A and B are shown apart, each in its own frame.
Chain A
């Protein structure tokens, strides 16, 4: 297991969102967490990325307690991209991506040739080399999201957590971002954990699905195992038909209506 949540309890102040949850992320897989709004999936992802400290239980990175490791050391292994991040005005794509090198820099050694190489590579992988000098606000939504992913790539970690990387994107740009995620996985065997809302895209681009409701894992497994008509009823209160995706053969959810 690369990353493991052991009996974690998560919340904000007195409000408990996730209570005693266990989850393991296997090395070299793409895992997507799905579930209705407010089920605690983003909260869980933040805890896995040590952005939120569990009030009970622990998160293990490669078997070690993540909160006991120096945060900078963690940042060289694990990259996190929060939901809808925002950058200061005027920041160029190259500057943003360069900030991904932060955990590799020290106060007295700010920039090295390995930083430059990593940034160039991250830009190339996300197809942004030609846009490197453009300010972020001039890019399209899809390009901007790719720039943020590029920053996370420049960080040089083989473990990536992406919180709703496709929010606010149209379908074509969603597919573009997920193709990129998939290629990151297949080219370098990165371990990736995402939160997604679109079940059909999740099924298409994911090795493992984790379905959550009310802070609990209801089902975990391959998309075929998890995305069943019964589970959609249980997790989303959704009446739906599940048919094979005519393109990829993965489960395709066709909603019938919401159960009351």
Chain B
């Protein structure tokens, strides 16, 4: 029952963050007018701001935050490594490489097409990492072979990406923007593009939770409990790839969310992934929106990218977290 109450509190926190995200900005729109803009728009300036800027921005923030929070918890659970982040499988660098490659090879120029390429790059990179990790271990990929393969593939793709952006100015511009991580100016299109991937990833994550609980006791114990370890791992990797791929393609590199959120949530949820995953999703979304709101007001008249804000507030916080408690063993 306590866990259901915590769930309600986290939902309320997310709702509060959503309200802040649609009202606060370069121009403050009071909640009453937001409501009016949503239900009975008359074409005023506020209506346009809310409908075409704030709402898509908020929705993308929620999608990316939920996706990264859940992906981070999955990643740390599967690798039994408290420092694992969703980018560990090469997803982030795969998306970056595919996007800049599409710019110089195919002349891609709209955000709409970047996202498809980013997603495809994320999926291919993580499939490659999984295959490499499988080849290294006997009988299936282990957390160690996956992490090694992920690091190697990420480094290789990063080198390729760097080479491309040094040669091509337009690719450099896109990459710079992408690397900072932002949920601004994405538009409603981006929301519809990534939603199916996030939903599919969340479904797989929900399906993965009980198996992950068994796997948390070690592979032999999980097998003894009748869990198919390789299938559980494959489903987990697929979920992480879909969730992270969708969010990095739409918002750029924000994987810090996935690293810190599970640590915030664990004292509330305990080691049970059936609660850890939903809590992480809610906290991830709330954190991302709040960081975005801070970025909007902290440096007027300009804005600070949410990725920068997250790193600025997140890094010291993470250091404090690590210092305060002894490192968590997973």
Contact = CB atoms under 8 A, between A and B. Distances in A.
A70 B223 CA distance: 12
Interface in A50-75: 50-51, 53, 70-75
Given A85-B220, A89-B271, A152-B224, 13 more contacts: A71-B223, A71-B228, A75-B224, A80-B221, A82-B220, A85-B217, A86-B217, A90-B270, A91-B270, A91-B271, A99-B213, A99-B225, A102-B214
Interface stretch (A103-111, A204-212, A232-240, A245-253): A103-111
B218 A86 contact: yes
B168 interface: no
Per DSSP, chain B at the interface is: loop
B138 interface: yes
A87 B210 contact: no
A88 B210 contact: no
30 contacts: A12-B138, A53-B139, A71-B223, A72-B226, A75-B225, A80-B223, A80-B224, A81-B224, A82-B224, A85-B218, A86-B329, A87-B216, A87-B217, A88-B80, A88-B217, A89-B271, A90-B266, A90-B270, A90-B271, A90-B328, A91-B270, A99-B214, A102-B210, A102-B213, A102-B214, A103-B225, A105-B210, A107-B210, A110-B210, A155-B225
Given A13-B138, A85-B220, A76 B226 contact: yes
Contacts of B274: 110
Contacts of B139: 53
B193 interface: no
Contacts of B207: 107
A92 B269 CA distance: 12
Contacts of B330: 88-89
A150 to B, nearest CB: 13
A100 interface: yes
Nearest to B326: A89
| Top 5 A-B pairs, shortest CB-CB distance | A75-B226, A80-B224, A72-B226, A82-B220, A103-B226
Contacts of B272: 95
B227 interface: yes
A219 B118 CA distance: 63
A99 B227 CA distance: 12
A46 B220 contact: yes
A246 B203 CA distance: 63
A35 interface: no
A88 B329 contact: yes
A49 interface: yes
Q: What class of interface size applies to chain A in its complex with B?
A: 35 or more
A79 interface: yes
A37 B200 CA distance: 48
Interface residues of B, number: 26
B207 to A, nearest CB: 6
Interface string A22-51: 000000000000000000000000100111
A76 B226 CA distance: 8
A80 B220 contact: yes
Contacts of A99: 213-214, 217, 225
Interface string A174-207: 0000000000000000000000000000000000
A95 B224 contact: no
Interface centre among A89, A96, A152 (most CB of B within 10 A): A89
A74 B226 contact: yes
Nearest to B207: A107
Contacts of A155: 225
A22 B228 CA distance: 27
Interface in B297-330: 328-330
B172 to A, nearest CB: 43
B265 to A, nearest CB: 12
Contacts of B329: 86, 88-89
Given A12-B138, A80-B220, A88-B329, A100 B271 contact: no
Interface string B224-237: 11111000000000
B328 A89 contact: yes
Nearest to B77: A88
A81 B223 CA distance: 10
Nearest to A13: B138
B271 A71 contact: no
B146 to A, nearest CB: 18
Nearest to B266: A90
A3 B20 CA distance: 63
B21 to A, nearest CB: 33
Contact of B224 (A79, A90, A92, A96): A79
A88 B271 contact: yes
B20 to A, nearest CB: 32
B52 to A, nearest CB: 40
Contacts of A85: 217-218, 220-221
Interface in B184-225: 207, 210, 213-214, 216-218, 220-221, 223-225
A89 B263 CA distance: 12
A11 B223 CA distance: 18
Contacts of A90: 266, 270-271, 328
B73 to A, nearest CB: 12
